Copies of this chain bind each other. A is one copy, B any other.
Amino acid sequence: MMVITMNSHATLGILGGMGPAAGIDLCRKIVDQHPAHRDQDHIPFILYSVPQIPDRTEALLRDGASPLDGMLDGVHALEQSGVGCIAIACNTAHAWLDALRHRTRLPVLDVVEAVAGELAQCVAPGALIGLMATEGTHHANVYRPRLEALGYRFVQVAEPLAHQALVNEGIRLTKAGENRRGGEALAMAMETLLAAGAQRVILGCTEIPVALVTCETPLGRFGLDASAALARACIAWSLAHETPTGKSRQ
């Protein structure tokens, strides 16, 4: 039987659960940033939030179990559900972006590309920027070489180890549900980067905006939220890829 569906936008697959609050935050940003007057005009998506995936930073830094198989389980479940592309709601997991792209026929969006596109609208190449991220994201060079290739320079803080320890603690607290305490640690870390001269600070871990929103920091306008940038890339992809308006159902 041919059934006319009302689905004019293509369905996104969100690989979440890393952590769960961060995946939900990305979905919320997709809904909030695509204003619609009724349910049916919103962007369709499927969120795979199975957080039993080995820790990404442990794998990158301390030889922990690889998260790749767990991520592939998610990608394959999303493929079978009929999504048209994949977005990964975890910056650190982008260390495996190429490996994932080789194992799926679907396009996989890239948070770094989304951030680079929005950074160019805020500051010119040559600008000093800061990056708040997990140790895994720093270690795997998810952001730095690509943004340096575009001409951006990364600020140096006086005590990098203490600074990263504060970021780690903020992320850990947020993953444990203590968003407010996490947000306080992260706001302090952001302040250090701005004091060191950063013109923009990339919030390059999906937990960071979840935590920062709980404390009203006046620094918010200097942050570039990687999740929000990825959400906008998701919306643009969905709107650019129409789903067939008729499909077979037995």
Contacts and interface: CB of A to CB of B under 8 A. Distances in A.
A85 B73 CA distance: 19
Interface stretch (A46-54, A109-117, A121-129): A46-54
Given A5-B52, A37-B176, A44 B32 contact: no
A79 to B, nearest CB: 10
A36 interface: yes
A47 B44 contact: no
Nearest to A45: B49
B52 A6 contact: yes
Nearest to A5: B52
Nearest to A83: B77
A159 to B, nearest CB: 27
Copy number in this complex? Answer: 2
Contact of A42 (B20, B77, B78): B20
Interface of A: 3, 5-8, 11, 17-21, 24, 27-28, 31-32, 35-55, 69-70, 73, 77-78, 80-82, 175-177, 249
A11 B39 CA distance: 26
Contacts of A69: 3, 249
13 contacts: A11-B50, A19-B42, A20-B39, A27-B27, A27-B47, A27-B49, A36-B176, A40-B51, A40-B54, A46-B48, A69-B249, A80-B80, A80-B81
Contacts of A18: 39
B46 A77 contact: yes
B19 A39 contact: yes
Given A47-B49, A52-B44, A31 B39 contact: no
Contacts of A43: 20
Contact of A20 (B3, B31, B50, B77): B31
Residue with the greatest number of chain B CB neighbours at <10 A, chosen from A18, A42, A73: A42
A129 B38 CA distance: 30
